[in-house]
Structure 1
Amino acid sequence: MTDPNSFERHRYDVIVVGAGGAGLRAAIAAHDAGAKVAIICKSLLGKAHTVMAEGGIAAAMGNVWSEDNWKVHFRDTMRGGKMLNHWRMAQLHAQESANRVHELEEWGALFDRTAEGLISQRDFGGHRYARLAHVGDRTGLELIRTLQQRAVALGIDVFMECTVTKLFRDDEQRISGAFAYWRESGRFIVFDAPAVVLATGGIGKSYKVTSNSWEYTGDGHALALDSGASLVNMEFVQFHPTGMVWPPSVKGILVTESVRGDGGVLRNSEGRRFMFDYIPEYFKAETADTEEEADRWYDDKSNNRRPPELLPRDEVARAINAEVKAGRGSPHGGVFLDIASRRSTEYIERRLPSMHHQFKELADVDITAEAMEVGPTCHYVMGGVAVDADTAESVVPGLYAAGEVAGGMHGSNRLGGNSLSDLLVFGRRAGEHAAHGATEREQRAPVSDDDIRAAAEAALAPFEQDGGENPYTLQHELQDVMHSLVGIIRQASEMEKALEEIARLKERAAKLTVEGHRQYNPGWHLALDIRNMLRVSECIALAALERTESRGGHTRDDFPTTDDSWATVNLHCIADGDSVAIRHEQLPAMPDELRELFQET
């Protein structure tokens, strides 16, 4: 069963792990740069979590507001991330996003249009101008359809329902390949490749209430950590302010920010628009402070004082959490999101078709006639693999990362819509540089039989245990720990307890038992995923305990304010044997010409 000669084996210049927007864009770029490329995806092609991104792609095209430009987008992104972003990543993202959107259009993406025939752009939280290019509320689906069609037309090889469990390095500690298995048959595969692009998405399945799909078990984060890369900003987990809260079977499913961008408002159980009570000092100059002014903004945006419902996501999520804790929540533990009283049925069905269908089918709620019940849900991790801003390469030669699995771009909080432009900009950069790095390598040592055998034995270990732990039980307990102790509001005693619980779960995970055979065995798949989930959860809890302040997506009850001494410090998680260690690193200094943008009115 562990004979290396019996394994399926393939040789490529670049392998891309993940077939969401970042992975597909990276594969296309690597192919166009002359590399032989393969995409490995955990589920079926076209089923990536990117399809759930509904609102739009943030890009300063100036189609709705001519005043918009990359400098304003850069400033919004940095302010949204509380200045903890890697400035160079934010700069490249703002400068290149518009080109990436136009590129999608050239490849066949069908965007909604303005009256003048330009790509339409909608408002979103934290963006000064209407900036999100959109396709109704199904933008991610259109993005994936377009990139997937392009990748297939180019003839790029795709390994579907295939999971990578190990990255290999050669004697010089450079990437040399990957170990994987077919989920259907359990048969192992070895990929010899000098470059790997991680595009595996996020970590949300470590939390009990999440908008994330089943694939999001932190695979890429754990693979990078175990290969010698560091993970940056792992304490910053974004809880999207509006997930479904009822019925229990759909709790956490995303309710797009487009509802608020198109006029929806948040109300508490008293029927009051409570967001006016939670406007931070640094957003007061551009946020409406009366209902009359906020409502007028949707029709006359000349003063650009936006409704408080369009504050950045971390601010809105904390406000909802505060209202619920104060006893002013909805019957099922959220608040009310009301667009029915503010927009016509025709408008809602045209602009928000997926939301209308989702609530009608899953909750028996007609959003054209009644309010939705919504609440915070684990949605996105700002933290990820620390990479070079220009090349998207980690400190491990040959290992690249793009999309949600990469860290640095969003700082402590991501603005809505920036995720789709992020994965396009850095997916392209990662693929291009991976191809150049791979094709320039003269020596390519094949993965050794000893390394393959060790990876196979590690993957099969759950079959060797009798009477051990059930992987489903461990996952359920881990989700409870992260939800209860490392959630939206944190304090030291709870996170210390979380780390103790995670350590106990790690000990139990070493004794997981899987019954049956390798074919069609979801218990075995979860047993392998659990290792990654525990690894990543430890990083989140450890970094959150270390950062003794509140900033962006990280809120400490015991340190409720932002501390200037942390304003230029990033925390990096590194592997320390079977555990994780924390390293403090200073942010790179921003050039004066960019810093001056924050002094402008």
Structure 2
Amino acid sequence: MSDREIGKEARSVEYDRVDVSVLVIGAGAAGARAAIELTERGVDDVLVIGKRSHGDAHTTWARGGINGALGTHDPEDSPAIHAADTLNEGHFLNHPAKVETVTEQMPDRLRELDEWGMEYSRTDDGRIDQRFFGAQSFRRTAFAGDHTGESMLDALVNRARELSVPYRENVMITRLVSDGDRAYGAVGFDMDTGEYVLFNAGQIVLAAGGHAAVYNRHTSRDDENNGDGAALAHDAGASLMDMEFVQFHPTGMAVDEDDSEWSPWSGRLVTEAVRGEGGRLFNADGERFMERYSPDQMELDARDVVARAIAREVAEGRGTENGGVYLDISHRDATFIGERLPRMYERFSELGVDMAAEPVEVAPTAHYGMGGVAVDSDGETDIDDLFAIGETMAGVHGANRLGGNSLAETVAFGVVAGERIAERAAGPGDIPDELLADVVEPHFRDLTETAGRSGEHDVETVIAELRQLMWDHAGILRDESALREGLAALDDLREKAERVDVGPVASESFEFAIDLGFMLTVAEAIFRGALERTESRGAHYRTDHPETDPDWRVNVYFDAADIGGMIPRTDSIPEPSERVQAALDEGHELDYHQLE
């Protein structure tokens, strides 16, 4: 008997049902670009859902730029060199074919965004301008001042509206409907009304962002990037990959936590564009300390290198009173800073700091998860009909992400996944009766039991404890003892999570309780991956295994066990194509001093 035949009156919990050919979960750049591609290819039954208002996604917080080998200033640049830089920065844990997918697409994707009205910064002759970013051989990062993500998402949303792509806002997905081999839909709730919703979908695209907000100092808003995508996919039976690699951006805002004006900005991103435009790092003794760590590339070395250098300066007593260092671009003219870094200049001005006259305090902050859901060349997971793209997927960035590649990945794989799904989209299908009985109905009952539950712990307090635990035990510097202590403490937090006080379905505490469940899954994967990888590589630095081990040039996967838990395995990595290998052999590298 089908769900339609059963009817609402026979359900143990009331819920609405929505039938759709393709459900896109996540309304940032990746989700929007996939929906655009599907619609342009004639799939007229697409629905994009987001946890926030339309156009309000984490993409808007990406500041500095988006990579593509346009050659505006450096015509010798190419997609192959872009791929070589990406593999170098990723310490060769990236999947080369996925990297090339991104780098080959990006010149066209940048021009396409231009056609759709993206407000790029431009050269005097009207071309898309490009700037230096850390660890890049050429000026490859296109930008819109220091609000690139915001301008990019505006262009994508406007294009989606032109195509009348259906969108539903303020909906949170809590579980995917899967039998472990194939995905059939998703369940969740309307965050405004509290109504439960079942989405019956022929194909599902997870574009739900990353998981950097499992750390207490991070660049995301507190209610996003909590690991929704990775946790949903893992619960559905998909494999996770390389979760130990979390990028700590060198320059988050370092603030006085007791100052009510400054404290909300703790960890928020001070874009790499500040350094790309000539910003310099100084310790509390006035030393330009990157001369010791990277005399050739200085402040524009790889993010992991700069982040560890700052962490060491602070640890050895040369940090500021707020636990950071100074970033100084005051040698640049105020007009230049206002034009090239308008959001940064405005933000600090509102806080009483003139970047054109004085330095700002910065410290490393959790920024991006290089790991995520394992996917094939089209973005499909090992669960049929379930795709993962954007920061939710793994494979492009390896052990450390090249700055400017995150926005590039979103639009490139939005196109790739959209092309593949459009080839086989054939309507909503139907959720098997046994999944309705064994997955959907029990999950809605669980949600109902959670809502309005009286508990002894405040959910936001438990989330704060988890974030502090991650920072202390799985942060920039790691060792086996700290990781095992953290994993044991995670079990205690999991027990606390079962006893948190929760309001009704549409309440903030209910949303946070769901977030906490996702965060616990992701935190476990990070701990277990970091324990498994007994070497240091990229963003993963083990003080008890400080060297890079060639035998560990493998990806670490975690598969879901039948009775719960995570089963680790490793797999080798393919070699680059001949043209990318040639670019690697040529040894392209930025010489910072050409900026002086």
Q: TM-score, normalised by structure 1?
A: 0.92
Aligned mates of 1:259, 1:518 — CA distance in 2 = 42
Residue of structure 1 equivalent to 2:303? 313
Match of 1:251 in 2: 266
Question: Which residue of 2 is the match for residue 550 of structure 1?
Answer: 536
1:332 partner amino acid:
N
Query: Structure 1's 105 and 273: CA in aligned 2 closer, same or farther, altered over 3 A?
Result: same
Q: Secondary structure at the match of 2:425?
A: helix
* 1:266 maps to 2:281: yes
Shift in alpha-carbon separation, 1:592–1:121, aligned structure 2, 3 A: closer
2:564 corresponds to which letter in structure 1? D
CA contact (8 A) 1:336 1:374 kept: yes
Distance between the aligned counterparts of 1:23 and 1:118, measured in 2? 28
Contact 1:13/1:435 (8 A) holds in 2? no
1:210 has 2:218 as partner? yes
> Which residue number corresponds to residue 417 of structure 1?
404
C-alpha separation in 2, matches of 1:195 and 1:66: 41
Deviation by residue 1:282-321 (Cα, 9 ceiling, x = unmatched) = xxxxx63xxxxxxxxxxxxxxxxxx411111111101111
The aligned residue for residue 60 of structure 1 is: 69
Q: How does 1:442-481 map to 2 (within 5 A)?
A: 445=432, 448-463=436-451, 465-481=453-469
What amino acid maps onto 1:331 in structure 2? E
- Secondary structure, aligned partner of 1:589: coil
1:162 aligns with 2:152: no
State the Cα deviation string for residues 188-242 of structure 1 (Å, max 9, x = none).
0111102111111111221111011121110010000011111111000000000
Mapped pair 1:12 → 2:20: yes
In structure 2, how many angstroms separate the alpha carbons of the residues matched to 1:349 and 1:442? 53
Q: CA deviation at 1:510?
A: 2.7
The alpha carbon displacement at 1:442 in A equals 7.5
2:556 to 564, 571, 581: 571
Q: Between Structure 1 and Structure 2, how many residues are aligned?
A: 569
Cα offsets for 1:254-273 (capped at 9, x unmatched): 00001011011001112111
Distance 2:573 2:446 in 1: 37
* Contact residue 120 and residue 142 of structure 2 kept, 8 A: yes
Answer yes or no: is the 8 Å Cα contact 1:195–1:438 preserved in 2. yes
Quote how far apart the aligned CAs of 1:440 are. Answer: 8.2
Provide the rounded CA distance (Å) in 1 between the counterparts of 2:304 and 2:417. 29
Q: Can you list the C-alpha shifts for 1:167-206, whole angstroms capped at 9, x where unaligned?
A: 1125x83111110101112110111102111111111221
User: What is the match of residue 283 of structure 1?
Assistant: none
Using structure 2 for the length normalisation, give the TM-score: 0.92
Match of residue 142 from structure 2: 133
Contact 2:250–2:303 at 8 Å: present in 1 too?
A: yes
SS in 1 for 2:336: helix
Q: C-alpha displacement at 1:443, in angstroms?
A: 7.3
Contact 2:128 2:142 in 1 (8 A): yes
Distance (Å, rounded) in 2 between the aligned partners of 1:461 and 1:588: 47
Residue segments in structure 2 that go unaligned for 5+ positions in a row? 1-7, 258-262, 588-596
In structure 2, the partner of 1:173 is 181
Query: Moved runs in structure 1, 4+ residues, more than 4 A?
Result: 440-447
Tell me which of 375, 384, 393 is aligned to 1:397.
Answer: 384
Query: What is the distance in 2 between the residues matched to 1:402 and 1:523?
Result: 28
Equivalence map 1:31-46=2 (5 Å): 31-35=39-43, 36-46=45-55
Deviates more, 1:448-457 or 1:200-209: 448-457
Unaligned runs of 5+ in 1: 280-286, 289-306
**Counterpart selection for 2:38 from 30, 33, 54:** 30
Q: 1:83 to 1:511 in 2, by over 3 A?
A: same
Cα shift at 1:396: 0.5
Alignment partner of 1:353 is 2:342: yes
- Asked if 1:497 is matched to 2:470, the reply is no
Q: Say whether residues 1:367 and 2:355 are aligned partners.
A: yes
CA displacement, residues 490-521 of structure 1 (integer Å, 9 cap, x when unaligned):
01000000100111211232333314x333x1
Q: Give the RMSD, CA atoms, in angstroms.
A: 1.8
- Residue 587 of structure 1: aligned partner: 573
Q: Does 1:92 align with 2:101?
A: yes
Asked whether the 8 Å contact 2:252–2:364 carries over to 1, the reply is: yes
Query: Following the alignment from structure 1 to structure 2, what is the Cα–Cα distance between the partners of residues 320 and 94?
Result: 30
Report if aligned partners of 1:196, 1:434 keep a CA contact under 8 Å in 2.
Answer: no
Alignment partner, residue 292 of structure 1: none
Q: Flag the 1:466–1:52 CA change in 2: closer, same or farther, 3 A.
A: closer
> Is the contact made by 1:463 and 1:513 (CA closer than 8 Å) also made in structure 2?
no
| Contact persistence 1:398–1:437 (CA under 8 A) | no
Work out whether 1:427 is the aligned partner of 2:414: yes
- Give CA deviations for 1:132-171 in whole Å, capped at 9, x if unaligned: 111111110110000001112211111111100111125x
1:294 counterpart residue number:
none
Find the aligned partners of 1:552 and 1:78 in 2 and give their Cα distance: 11
Per-residue deviation, 1:359: 1.1
Q: Secondary structure at the match of 1:13?
A: strand
8 A Cα contact 2:185 2:431, kept in partner: no
Determine if contact 1:54/1:137 at 8 Å carries over to the other structure: yes
Q: Which residue number in structure 1 is paired with residue 240 of structure 2? A: 231
- Identify which range, 72-81 or 474-483, moves more after superposition: 474-483
User: What amino acid is aligned across from residue 409 of structure 1 in structure 2?
Assistant: V
Query: 1:345-379 CA distances to partner (integer Å, 9 max, x unpaired)?
Result: 11111111100111122x32111110010010000
One-letter amino acid of the counterpart of residue 570, structure 2? H
Task: State the Cα distance separating 1:464 from its structure 2 match.
Answer: 6.8
Partners of 2:19 and 2:428 within 8 A in 1: no
Q: Which moved more, 1:409-418 or 1:455-464?
A: 455-464
User: Does structure 1 retain, via aligned residues, the 8 Å contact 2:274–2:341?
Assistant: yes
For residue 581 of structure 1, report the CA deviation from its aligned partner. 2.2
